[in-house]
Copies of this chain bind each other. A is one copy, B any other.
Amino acid sequence: MEYIKDPMEIERKSFEIITQELGEKTFPEKEGRIIKRMIHTTADFQYADITEISKEAIDSALTALREGCSIYTDTKMAMAGINKSVLKELNCEIYCLVDDPQVAKEAKEKGLTRSMVAMKKAVEDEKTKIFVIGNAPTALFQLCHYIDEEKKSPSLVVGVPVGFVGAKESKDELVKRSVPHITTLGRKGGSTVAAAIVNALLYMLK
């Protein structure tokens, strides 16, 4: 069994193949880096067609990251996939509250999802400027609600819940808002996609 073992070389060659297979489908430089990393993490070229990056999203996110913001993720999976050493270099923090015992207790009492209760706490945290939602439509609906109520004005919402019940609808709500956002229209998305988007942004600052 002969195979390439060097991780850097694997990644370089992967992006070369993705660029080649995208063919005439080209993007502005920074948008392209995000979309190609989404394809890299899924091997699914449909992300070239369903990804929507609002005009100011990348600049707004990079400013927040340069200032050392906190990032909230709706799942531990998305959090696990985001590059911690680059975050540390930038003095940024990342957290997820979905396993917080207080959140679990409150969710049970109120008949809400843990994602919803956790989102409320994240919105109340001043340092949290970037919201990364890869799984729970309820969390994204909830965040849209807080944006409408002017309880929060995020620097970026990565809103890419995946699934069959509410995922599409929650993203349709997100794009109606003027908040800086990166999303995937329709059903597709997920924690790996969310992490890929954040990592692409982080690598722009390396």
Q: Which residues of A contact B (CB under 8 A)?
A: 1, 3-7, 10, 13-14, 17-18, 40-44, 75-77, 79-81, 111-113, 116, 137-138, 141, 144-145, 162-167, 169-170, 173, 186-192, 195
Contact B41 A138 (CB under 8 A): no
Contact A14 B163 (CB under 8 A): yes
Residues from chain B with a CB closer than 8 A to the CB of A170 are: 3
CB-based nearest B residue for A134: B192
Contact A166 B3 (CB under 8 A): yes
CB-based nearest B residue for A43: B187
CB-based nearest B residue for A187: B43
Contact B116 A164 (CB under 8 A): no
Residues from chain B with a CB closer than 8 A to the CB of A144 are: 1
Supposing A3-B138, A166-B10, A170-B3 touch, asked if A77 and B40 sit within 8 A by C-beta, the answer is: no
4 extra interchain contacts, Cβ-Cβ under 8 A, other than A13-B164, A43-B186, A77-B80?
Answer: A1-B144, A4-B165, A5-B111, A17-B164
Assembly CA distance A5 to B113 (angstroms): 6
**A50 CB, min distance to chain B CBs, angstroms:** 10
Residues from chain B with a CB closer than 8 A to the CB of A137 are: 3, 10
Residues from chain B with a CB closer than 8 A to the CB of A4 are: 165-166
Supposing A80-B77, A116-B5, A170-B3 touch, asked if A17 and B165 sit within 8 A by C-beta, the answer is: yes
Residues from chain B with a CB closer than 8 A to the CB of A191 are: 77, 81, 191-192
Assembly CA distance A170 to B2 (angstroms): 10
Supposing A190-B192, A192-B192 touch, asked if A163 and B112 sit within 8 A by C-beta, the answer is: no
Q: Which of A5, A116, A141 has the most CB of B within 10 A?
A: A5
**A187 CB, min distance to chain B CBs, angstroms:** 4
- Checking B13, B162, B189 against A165 with a beta-carbon cut-off of 8 angstroms, the contacting residue is B13
Contact B113 A7 (CB under 8 A): yes
